Structure 1
Amino acid sequence: MAQEVKSGDTVKVHYHGRLSDGTTFDSSEGREPLEFEVGSGMVIKGFDDGVMGMTVGQKKTIEIPVDDAYGPRDPQAIIEFPIDRFPPGLKPEVGMQLAMNNGAGQQMPVVIVEVNPEFVVLDANHALAGQDLIFDLELVEINTPSRIIMP
């Protein structure tokens, strides 16, 4: 009987990620397959759930609703930042990606969505927030952790 993926296994998966309108946002094509431990939180919940029960060589398409992907867009993550606080020599432009430090010293990626004379509007939402995602998956490998039973 073929081995099926279960929580705790480390798997290798080739994937092609699309939005519901068909736009590709990520793919492992031409790269090594994605390797992760199932159920450990390394990937979004819908991706974890999607590989459960798959067998090596199996292909399938999964649809991940926004709540099991990157969640809804958060209006609190839209920030107005005074333009005079930008480093001299940096000319902010719409679409530019920057890293900002939050108060706790962690870096978070932001994208400039608007520029005007007084301030710049930054969006700290994940680029895929608010989107349902579709993945074509192919399971390449399963590595089950060995269970050592102590006497």
Structure 2
Amino acid sequence: MKELPVDKGTRVQLHFALKFQDGEVVDSTFEKEPATLEIGDENLPENFEAYLMGMKAGDRESYEVPPEKAFGQHNPNNVQTFKRHEFSADMVLEPGVMISFADARQSELPGVVCRVEGDEVEVDFNHPLAGRTLIFDVEILDVEPAKPTH
């Protein structure tokens, strides 16, 4: 069964690493337990799954993933300005601090403080990796048919 290629309906055991072009590692399983996922279960963004399609156990590849296939381009509309008094008084507000907001549907929306000036706090809701080209290293360890979910 070692010849089964990665496709919808397969369970894949793999090692992966996401890196910036300068080699800085964003996330990696190579030094840890491998990841196991089912293609289509949304554990891995669809664009990243697309790179795995057709790979077989033992295959190892490195892909350069442009922003539009990774986490999108940086969108200036996703940067919003709030007033200092809209936050609790004891909250640390300085560039780089991540704050969790609830969006209109009450789901969690993380934002990163990018500027604090006087009474203004600027928060960036873009994905932290937006606008970045990433290197996606992947090594397929095993591919098997996914178990029926019922």
Tell me, yes or no, if the aligned pair for 1:44 and 1:68 is still in contact at 8 Å.
no
Output one character per residue of 1:58-105: Cα deviation in whole Å (capped at 9) or x when no partner: 211112221111111111110101101111211311111110111221
Number of aligned residues: 147
Output one character per residue of 1:93-141: Cα deviation in whole Å (capped at 9) or x when no partner: 1111110111221111111100111111001111111112111111112
- 1:133 is matched with 134
Q: How does 1:57-68 map to 2 (within 5 A)?
A: 57-68=58-69
Once the two structures are TM-superposed, the CA of residue 13 in structure 1 deviates from its matched residue by 1.3
The gaps in structure 2 that reach 5 residues or longer are none
Q: How does 1:102-121 map to 2 (within 5 A)?
A: 102-121=103-122
Q: How does 1:32-43 map to 2 (within 5 A)?
A: 32-43=33-44
Q: How does 1:2-151 map to 2 (within 5 A)?
A: 2-145=3-146
Determine the C-alpha separation between the residues in 1 that align with 2:42 and 2:30.
Answer: 23
Moved more, 19-28 or 34-43: 34-43
Tell me, yes or no, if the aligned pair for 1:8 and 1:40 is still in contact at 8 Å.
no
Question: What TM-score results when the alignment is normalised by the length of structure 1?
Answer: 0.88
Determine the C-alpha separation between the residues in 2 that align with 1:31 and 1:136.
Answer: 15
Tell me, yes or no, if the aligned pair for 1:70 and 1:130 is still in contact at 8 Å.
yes
Determine the C-alpha separation between the residues in 1 that align with 2:147 and 2:128.
Answer: 38
Q: CA RMSD in A?
A: 1.7
From the superposition, tell whether residues 26 and 146 of structure 1 become closer, same or farther in structure 2 (CA, over 3 Å): closer
2:89 partner letter = P
Question: What TM-score results when the alignment is normalised by the length of structure 2?
Answer: 0.88
